[in-house]
Amino acid sequence: MIEIGNLALYLALATCLYAIGTSVYGAQRSRSAFVASGEHAAYATWGLVVIATTVMVHALLTNDFRLKYVAEYSSTTLPLRYKITSLWGGMEGSMLFWALILTTFIAIAQFQNRARNRALMPYVTATTCTVAAFFLSMLALITPPFALLPYPPAEGTDLNPLLQNYWMQIHPPSLYLGYVSWTIPFGFAIAALVTGRVDDLWIRTSRRWCLMAWFFLSLGNLFGARWAYEVLGWGGYWAWDPVENAAFMPWLTGTAYLHSVMIQERKDMLKVWNMTLIIMTFGLTIFGTFLTRSGVISSVHSFTQSGLGPYFMGFLCFVLAGSSALLVYRLDALKPRHKLDSLLSRESAFLFNNLLLVGIAFATLWGTIFPVLSEAVRGVKITVGPPFFNRVNAPLAIGLLLLMGIGPLIAWRRATMRHLMETFLPPAAFGVAAGVAIFAAGMRSLSALLVVSFSAFVVYTVVSEFHTGARARMSMVGEGYVAALRGLLRKNQRRYGGYIIHVGIVCMFLGVTMSSVYRVEELHTVAKGEEFTIGDYTLRYEDSGSSEDEHMASLKATLRVFEGGREITVLEPEKRFYKRPEQPATEVAFRSTMKDDLYVILGSIDKDGKATFQGYVNPLVWWLWFGGAVLVLGTAVAAFPARRAVERERARESAAAAREQAG
Amino acid sequence: MRGFSSLAALAILLFSLSLPPAPVLAETAAAESVLGQRDVEEGLTCQCGCGLTVAACNHLECSFAVPVRKDIAESLARGESGEQILERYKREYGEKVLSSPVPEGFNILAWVAPYLGIFIAGSLMFTFFRRRALRAPVEATTAPLPTSRKTDERIARLQDEVEESKR
């Protein structure tokens, strides 16, 4: 069985290389049989990677400790669900999982475009298969997942206890889906550059892939934050760790792309910029993989040092150099048809939005690599931690929040002062009123005041966009208000889906700002029956207990929680001691409401029964997760087109295919 | 030129907002210190390997964070300023114990580069899009939106909707 896995990987690498060669040869010589053969080879690569992954999952499920990977990341006592998730718990398995997703996406893209975009597809196949070939060569030659142990142990080391959590089952797959999805738009961008067909075609064709990539990256980051919140037990959810940054940077440049692409579609501008953003985003996904696997920068998330670093760095340089050369080669064809008329225009607002998003990505990248730079230049190790990232990025993020309100309302081309006054006076007044209200309520933090004011401003603009649109439909089409709102959503899902996403982002801004600025933190050591307070909550330490099974031992405390003299809940924070590997872990207990989260960690329980608790009250943190749910809803609205839009797109594609055949 | 100045002003404003509080930039007397217990804890990186600040370290019995928190509280109570405490830890453990680079010497680059980058990239972008566009005639559909009356606004919106729905 294991030999089959190994063989499948080698064959997958061979078919992948074959797909690259035949696709390019077929396109260059206009030999459609070669192009078709290349596509079949890409399907075969996918099939072979599925076989290799199946062999690995089988080995994990059957505790086949002859395999080094299974012995290191699983055990006989590991629950079934974690046996499956240990596929991405270690370096080799995660690379195999990456290859599985990538080859699956390549196969899907091939299938979707089997009868369209025929001029682009050979180069899409070649580009995406080059990426797949890189990962497969790493798996086949550098970090083989099917390496055998000379003396198989009777029991495995087990999966890291920190990874034995629900959020860890869904966080890495979401992140990988997001990372890997960017390969397809990158493939289309490179194909457009190679063929010189740099109109909107590659953008329209890869739009859903971009949305999907952005969606899964958003989810991956959110799930990771939730995992950190529940498992790491420090009361926070984002620590600006290099690996967190690695997932955040492509999300930022991807968000910039999703905005700037609208300018290209409407105004035929920003073609070079959009190409640059796609290349940058894809490059950052490879950079993120490099960070996690190279050991260059220390991180709590990274895999053990593997020697993969130089290969990833080499591949990244190859990608950036090759893409940049193509971009320069096609600069003339990418010239915009229109120029920017005024700084007071929607185009400018989008450009500023892009500037800030890419600026935050750059600041994050800069802070992440600065310790390495400092050591190389000065020979001095320094730390660039959360205070740096918060200080540098907060003003940029607040500026971005403001632009979220300005962008949808400002006129295209050139806005007059009169238009600005008419359009922005009501939302600006609403924003200022919100700021004054919370100032009067006692809030004095500048960042909190700005975020609340700008959030109110953005929400007003979004609501007024829906309202004005619905009123316009009512007067033109004669519908009722609710029907007009529905019609508005149906007719332009992309725009209104985007507005819903904006509301989600506003919720997240509020959650992050308030829980960071107004967090309350307390440490208490109490005996059974004693009470202590955290913020407005009173907690009574009732009892403690312990339990043990073959997998772990657990120590649990029971706390009754009162608010205003009324019992509201019982919390049971836990301290766990995993047996393989021997490692303690914290099981946080928390009560989440829209107002705040009461978050309690059990530190220790003495022999005399006294227990130490660390407690936090995190205001409005619920809104961070709620914002994530709104973001999912908005993306669903934006990504799934109405039937008419699908028909229109099909008609356009048929016309394009007919033109292609006639030509 | 106006666009250039606006960008420069924006970059300077954002940069000034991001700088560490003034006391971190210069030695100040204890009486003038504005750094409290939490600020000093945030200013130090825990050395236990958690990668978090002393304020955020999640190990309740951490061999570094717990005694350091106690030391900070005692030192502040004795009259030592937050800056002096940070300086003392820097002398003892090296610069790596500080959670963000002190803005002096080479480290200034850490703070300045992001804003300089935004300013340069922004200038290039805006210059490029204002000057290097093809001189193609402007299409009729891109005429400025009517702005004065509500009805005009609605018609403009519907035009907008129609145009977008064609895409």
pLDDT tier, A164 (very low <50, low <70, confident <90, very high otherwise)? confident
Q: Is A413 on the interface with B (CB under 8 A)?
A: yes
ipTM at complex level: 0.80
CA distance B27 to A107: 62
Please give, rounded to a whole number of angstroms, the shortest distance from the CA of B23 to a CA of chain A. 15
Give percent of chain B with pLDDT exceeding 70.
56
pLDDT, tens digit, 9 for 90 and up, residues B78-129? 989 999 999 999 999 999 999 999 888 899 999 999 999 989 988 887 777 7
Q: Which residues, in sequence order, are CB contacts of B130 under 8 Å at separation 6+?
A: A339, A340, B3
Q: In terms of CA atoms, which chain A residue is nearest residue B98?
A: A383
pLDDT tier, A6 (very low <50, low <70, confident <90, very high otherwise)? very high
Q: Is A298 on the interface with B (CB under 8 A)?
A: yes
Q: In terms of CA atoms, which chain A residue is nearest residue B2?
A: A343
CA distance B17 to B111: 11
Q: Is B153 on the interface with A (CB under 8 A)?
A: yes
Cβ contacts of B109 on chain A, cutoff 8 Å: 370
Cβ contacts of B107 on chain A, cutoff 8 Å: 374, 382
Which sign, positive or negative, has the C-alpha torsion A302, A306, A309, A312? Answer: negative
For residue B7, pLDDT beyond 80: no
Which among A447, A454, A438 has a CA at the least distance from the CA of A400? A454
Which residue's entry shows tokens 């550098």?
A142
pLDDT, tens digit, 9 for 90 and up, residues A202-235? 999 999 999 999 999 999 999 999 988 988 877 8
Which amino acid, one-letter code, is at B128? F
Q: Are A387 and B100 in contact (CB under 8 A)?
A: yes
pLDDT, tens digit, 9 for 90 and up, residues A39-96? 999 999 999 999 999 999 999 999 999 999 999 999 898 889 999 999 988 889 999 9
pLDDT, tens digit, 9 for 90 and up, residues A9-43? 999 999 999 999 999 999 999 999 999 999 999 99
Q: Is A391 on the interface with B (CB under 8 A)?
A: yes
Question: What value, to the nearest 5°, has the Cα angle with vertex A143 and ends A141 and A148?
Answer: 100
| pTM summary value | 0.88
- In DSSP terms, which residues pair with A584 in a beta bridge? A577
CA distance B57 to A584: 15
CA distance A330 to A389: 36
For residue B30, pLDDT beyond 50: no
Question: What value, to the nearest 5°, has the Cα angle with vertex B56 and ends A293 and B64?
Answer: 90
Please give, rounded to a whole number of angstroms, the shortest distance from the CA of A213 to a CA of chain B. 22
Q: Is A270 on the interface with B (CB under 8 A)?
A: yes
Q: Which of A161-165, A574-578, B6-10, B48-52 has the lowest mean pLDDT?
A: B6-10
Please give, rounded to a whole number of angstroms, the shortest distance from the CA of A489 to a CA of chain B. 11
For residue B22, pLDDT beyond 50: no
Instruction: Burial-class residue A107 by CB neighbours within 10 Å (0-12, 13-18, 19+).
Output: buried
Q: Which of A563-572, B75-84, B133-142 has the lowest mean pLDDT?
A: B133-142
Cis geometry, peptide bond prior to residue A584 (ω within 30 degrees of 0):
no
CA distance B77 to B74: 5
Q: Are A174 and A220 in contact (CB under 8 A)?
A: yes
Contact between B106 and A374 using a beta-carbon 8 Å cutoff: yes
- pLDDT at position A230, please? 87
